[in-house]
Amino acid sequence: MRSLAPGIKLITSFSRDSWYRFSILILTFVFYTSYHLSRKPISIVKSQLHRNCSNVIHPADLNITDNDTWCDWAPFDQNNYQNLFGVLDNCFLVAYAFGMFFSGMFGERLPLRYYLSSGMLLSGLFTALFGLGFYWRIHSLWYYCLVQALNGLVQTTGWPAVVACVGNWFGKGKRGFIMGIWNSHTSVGNILGSLIAGVYVSSAWGLSFIVPGIIIACTGVICFFFLVEKPEDVNCTPPQHHESVEQEPLLRNSSSNEEIFSSHTSTAVEPVEEHTEAISFSGALKIPGVVEFSLCLLFAKLVSYTFLYWLPLYIANIAHFDPKEAGDLSTLFDVGGIVGGILAGLISDYSGGRATTCCAMLIIAAPMLFLFNKIGQNGLPTTVCMLLWCGALVNGPYALITTAVSADLGTHECLRGNSRALSTVTAIIDGTGSIGAAVGPLLAGLISPTGWNNVFYMLITADVLACLLLSRLVYKEVRGWCGYTTRQRGFKEI
């Protein structure tokens, strides 16, 4: 009998279910990569919209009235340009935060394939419209604010939908590690968005938006033709979301049988009834742990998104790099974020302590942010090292909460098999975090004229508050590891 080719052996060694699950991971990874890819250009283009024009060689035939602002793009050519950049960021982020609270409920009631596809197509349209302002010579702040706000609304279609889709296909085993790797799409999208925008930023910054807009629109078409929402749609085996207490309960303490977010005290396995009614907003808030992690994410995301929108400009101003070099260097923060997200998921899987993992990384992040501000500009090697460390410590907890924790809570045993809660829980957690994402860049725009030191003090304060908000959950995890037992709480008791 002839032996099969090695490639065919590899293909046939995996089951049909495994191939479908792998394809869902890849597709949702690509989808959300394109979402973040289309958000990143604004942070790269900022340093091109307002430059030090006295150092720029101007065309001989150009009549210049102001030597300091002739190369800037109005209305960002005035001394209040940092405040205007903050307003621009907030138009997107406030709309995103507002829309996220409703997006999850829409995602549970509409087919995910249509919801994601339409969201990506509209995101591509509004991203491209921002770039077309360059070719149409639009200098109205209201135009750019309107486009940013509309883009923020349609971008809310992405996160609840992709997390719900992955949650439909994957159970609890190694969820932190798998989602830690999968969540690198955020950083990969930021990196690709920075690199693509950097190619065009100095020559024709409009293309820095138009090209990412085309890319996310194309992924929307792919989503429409290939996304499978649930295993049952293609006769695959659905994952097991609920286990007995003896079998590694959801979000438990690894060294004891106590569950941090326990929904019952009996060790007997109760039959799980599949519910089809979507959970209400107030019902999702009653799930133990949702409020704490949501508020923690508010401050964690404040720090992360301040870096997302202001890091390239900070590097250009402090280290005196040109816009392209500053954008390329800022991608190292996202490279560190990839490593941090994977480590956070791996550690939390091994220890069983999601809250403790987040809290530990947040504690270490505070002094690292202080050091970055003090010594981060002392040579290129120091800058690279600090960017990688800060990226890992800032984005690690953010990644863990928005993925594994959201999926854990959205499939909590207290829901008694209600598979339609995941999108709403994810939207509540990420929506609350998005409030911080909106506030952070706005505060950075208001504070930065007084000095970058004050911006970093604000970030350190937010980091400490995020840590404190998890103190109750950390206390329970530590008590569990020490062998103590506590009165377990039910679904209605928070």
Segment 437-462, tens digit of pLDDT? 889 988 988 898 888 899 999 999 99
**How many residues does the structure list for the chain?**
494
Question: What is the rounded average pLDDT for all residues in the chain?
Answer: 82
pLDDT of amino acid 285: 75
Summarised one tens digit per residue, pLDDT across range 53-78 is: 767 666 666 666 656 677 889 898 88
pLDDT of amino acid 492: 39
Token duo for residue 60? 């001989």
Record the pTM.
0.76
Q: How confident is the model at residue 174 (pLDDT cuts 50, 70, 90)?
A: low
pLDDT of amino acid 70: 75
Cβ pair 408, 251 in contact under 8 A: yes
**Could you tell me which residue, 269 or 108, shows the higher pLDDT?**
108
pLDDT of amino acid 255: 37
- Report which listed range, 130-144, 150-164, 408-422, is most confident: 130-144
**Could you tell me which residue, 142 or 246, shows the higher pLDDT?**
142
Token duo for residue 45? 């283009």
Q: How confident is the model at residue 114 (pLDDT cuts 50, 70, 90)?
A: very high
Cβ pair 488, 258 in contact under 8 A: yes
pLDDT of amino acid 97: 87
**Could you tell me which residue, 257 or 210, shows the higher pLDDT?**
210
* Mean pLDDT for the stretch of residues 263-282: 48
Which range, of 190-204, 212-226, 313-327, averages the lowest pLDDT? 313-327
